[in-house]
Amino acid sequence: MPITEIVKLYTVEGWSENRIAKHYGVSRNVICIRLKRAGIKRRTQSEAESLKWKQMSSEQRKRQVKSAHDSVRGRKKTHSFLMKRAKGVQAKYTLSGLENKFFEAFKNARIVVIPQYAVDVFNVDFAIPERKIAIEIDGGNWHNCASKVIQDKRKEKCLIANGWRLFRFSKNVEHAVALIKKACGNPASLS
């Protein structure tokens, strides 16, 4: 087996292990062993998927997305699945520019918040769990679209039913910091 060619196909050309194996008429395991012996670090599943999508044409991507949507359309997600998904979002959170501005302000004010905190099946932008304080940052117009309004109302009902206090802010960071400090210091003073 031409190991230099296999390494080139994998590292330079971006071929998958399966594609190389098919090309040489061998099992994928044979290719894995050859790559390992050559000191080549195997791609993670995420890296492999990313590479696969980069190599697709826009038409292939459209077909792939349509196929994925078709396979799940109409399928009801279980409560357990939705809770697990919310925990996953919390673990891999990303902040928008506005959320990052609030996060930095909370940090500077020594208010410890957890971004994208999972409460049941929902994620709140920031939470102070020990005080059951949920903070939502409503930036942009997308919070006004009908589906987002419905989702926000469901999230709000869930939070209230579970004993959380919800604070919504849009731009005034200083006001948010002052109000959250007050809520943490004397929760009874806020209605």
Q: Which residue has the higher pLDDT, 107 or 147?
A: 107
What's the start-to-end Cα distance of the chain, in Å?
74
What is the 3-state secondary structure of 50-113?
Answer: HHHHHHCCHHHHHHHHHHHHHHHCCCCCCHHHHHHHHHHHHHCCCCCHHHHHHHHHHHHCCCCC
Range of the domain at 36: 3-72
What pTM did the predictor assign? 0.63
- With beta carbons less than 8 A apart as the criterion, state whether 181 and 188 touch: no
Which CATH number covers residue 89? 3.40.960.10
pLDDT band (50, 70, 90) for residue 191: very low
- With beta carbons less than 8 A apart as the criterion, state whether 53 and 14 touch: no
- 96 and 142 in a single domain? The answer is yes
- 84 and 154 in a single domain? The answer is yes
- 67 and 97 in a single domain? The answer is no
- 68 and 34 in a single domain? The answer is yes
pLDDT greater than 70 at residue 172: yes
The secondary structure element, H or E, covering residue 152 is helix 146-161
- 86 and 65 in a single domain? The answer is no
What are the C-alpha distances in Å from 182 to residues 5, 173, 186? 66, 14, 6
- 59 and 89 in a single domain? The answer is no
Structure tokens at 6: 């296999």
**Residue whose token pair is 């196909």:** 9
pLDDT band (50, 70, 90) for residue 116: very high
The proportion of the chain whose per-residue pLDDT surpasses 90, expressed as a percent, equals: 75
- 182 and 126 in a single domain? The answer is yes
Per-residue pLDDT reduced to its tens digit, 117-167? 999 999 999 999 999 999 999 876 665 678 888 999 999 999 999 999 999
- 54 and 144 in a single domain? The answer is no
- 88 and 146 in a single domain? The answer is yes
**Residue whose token pair is 């919800």:** 166
